[in-house]
Amino acid sequence: MKCSELIQPSQIVLDLNATDRWAAIDELVDHLVRLGLVAATQHETVITAVKEREKTISTGVGFGIAIPHGSTDGVTKVTAILGRSSKGINFDALDNQPVRLVVLFLVPTGQYQEHLKTLATISRFLGDRDFREQAFKAASAQELYDVILKREG
């Protein structure tokens, strides 16, 4: 699986308004609903799945990144969205630093292997300092998507 297959330019939010992790999750899921990638009838189910997972331990893993995720019946295939914050988001990250890049992903209930593969793929990407620096500088969603493609190159 490639990040470019998970995240299209329409699934990139360049300027998140959220200041905390709960609002960031709401904002990203709302965007997925607007795109039609999550049915409006599944909105609350998806929000609950991600927030319940987040309550167990923060997915703010450090270096300004967070990877909130959840398993839910609200999707039929792996679904992801990338958000960027210029202000930084309080995610209760492991290093206590604000988060600037958030990749939220959803996996259909019971697809444990797919969940682990997706988490590993996203972690590898976000763990690359050069990628993060280029992602912070991208002027448009398309430019950020191009950074993803180049990194996969």
Active site members: 69
Residue 26: enclosing H or E segment and its boundaries? Answer: helix 21-35
Strand partners, 127: none
Burial of 136 (0-12, 13-18, 19+ CB in 10 A): middle
